[in-house]
Chain A
Amino acid sequence: MQRIFPPGLLFIVGVTVLVEILARLGLLSSYFPPPSAILAALAQGLANGEITSQVGMTLSTFAEGLVLASVLAIVIGVLMGAIPIVYDALKTIVELLRPIPSVAMIPLAILFLGLGSPMRVAVIAYASFWPLLISTLYGVRAVDPVALDTARNFGVPPAEALYRVTLPAALVSIATGLRVSATIALVVTVTTELVAGNSGLGFYVSQMEQASRLPSMYAGILFTGVLGYLINLIFFTLEHKIVFWSPAARGAVQ
Chain B
Amino acid sequence: MNATNDPLLDVSGLQKRYTSSGTLAIDNVTLDVRKCEFVSIVGPSGCGKTTLLKTICGLLHPTGGSVMLDGRLVTAPPPEMVLVFQDYGRSLFPWLTVEGNVAFPLKKKRLGPEKKRAAIDEALRAVNLERFAKHYPWQLSGGMQQRVAIARAIAFSPDILLLDEPFASVDALTRAELEDLTLKLRDTLGITMLLVTHDIDEAVYLSDRVFVLSPPPSVVVRGFDIPLGRERDQEGTRSDPRFLELRNEIHHLIGRPRTDLPQPAAAR
**Do A and B touch, yes or no (CB under 8 Å, in the complex)?**
no
